[in-house]
Amino acid sequence: MANDKLDASPDKDLPRYSLRVSVRAKRMQLKVNHWGKVEVVVPRNVSIAHVAPFVHRHREWLERTLAQVQGVRDDPIAANSLSPEKVNLLALDEEWELSYRQGVGSHCRITTGHEGQRRLLIETVDGTTAHLALQSWLHDYARQCLPPWLRRVSEECQLPFTGVSVRAQKTRWGSCSSRGRINLNRHIIFLPPHLARYIMVHELCHTVHLNHSRRYWTLVERFVPDFEHCESELRLAARYIPLWACPE
């Protein structure tokens, strides 16, 4: 089911935000992505007139979250991370050492160092192509690692799905179609393992209830008893994602 995207022009006392009218949403939601862009998700049966008061009520949380996101972006380590020396994939408990070399074309070569140390050699023409090569490696590696993990969680929970895709989504950690096909955000591999697993459980439960009803959350709670804490953590989980990994 498609969602309607609308531009919004809030009053001057609020940060600029966009609207997304969703046929699946049961309540209004306020989201802040990795770049500090604000989105309000509005159920189709809710009047747009309710949006500004809703944002006003959550203004304190919004300003605090935007400040935290900006703090990550202003961090000197993060600011210089378009060509990182190391990549930490928390979900996989892996640390990669990166090195760069000027060459012809653009490619990444994986090598194994001392005691199984993971190394990635990026050979490109310049810094821009190095950044693109690194993003390409990230996408391919996430596609290699996340689907098998989802299958293991699916078997553990006995919640089958029909297919899986890994994408560079900007605002969602995952989604599930009415046919039981699941999309996962490649950035999941940067998250702590318990959050990565929670996202998978969250989407697998949508194969049973394609909504956020009471029955849906009861099912989620069966597999993740502290799901509310996980939901709270996910609101600020963008801090785990390095700037180089974010799509334009």
Residue 85's pLDDT is: 86
Residue 77's pLDDT is: 46
Helix 127-157 and helix 193-205: axis angle, to 10°?
A: 60
pLDDT value at 203 more than 90: yes
Residue 133's pLDDT is: 82
Q: How confident is the model at residue 122 (pLDDT cuts 50, 70, 90)?
A: confident
Mean pLDDT of the region 113-134: 74
Q: How confident is the model at residue 178 (pLDDT cuts 50, 70, 90)?
A: very high
Residue 208's pLDDT is: 97
What tokens were used for 115?
A: 């005691």
DSSP state of 162: S
Q: How confident is the model at residue 3 (pLDDT cuts 50, 70, 90)?
A: very low
Q: 38-60 pLDDT, tens per residue?
A: 888 899 888 888 888 898 888 88
Give Cα 36 distance to the centre of its chain: 14
Q: 71-118 pLDDT, tens per residue?
A: 655 554 444 467 788 899 999 999 998 888 876 666 667 665 555 678
Residue 76's pLDDT is: 46
pLDDT value at 205 more than 70: yes
Contact of 234 with 226, CB cutoff 8 Å: no
Q: How far is CA 195 from CA 112, 159, 202, 229, in A?
A: 28, 18, 10, 10
Determine what percent of the chain falls in helix, strand and coil, rounding each to the nearest 5. Answer: 45, 25, 30
Q: How confident is the model at residue 218 (pLDDT cuts 50, 70, 90)?
A: very high
Residue 92's pLDDT is: 95
β-bridge partners, 101: 123
Percentage, residues of the chain above pLDDT 70:
81
Mean pLDDT of the region 188-211: 96
Residue 169's pLDDT is: 83
Average pLDDT, the chain: 83
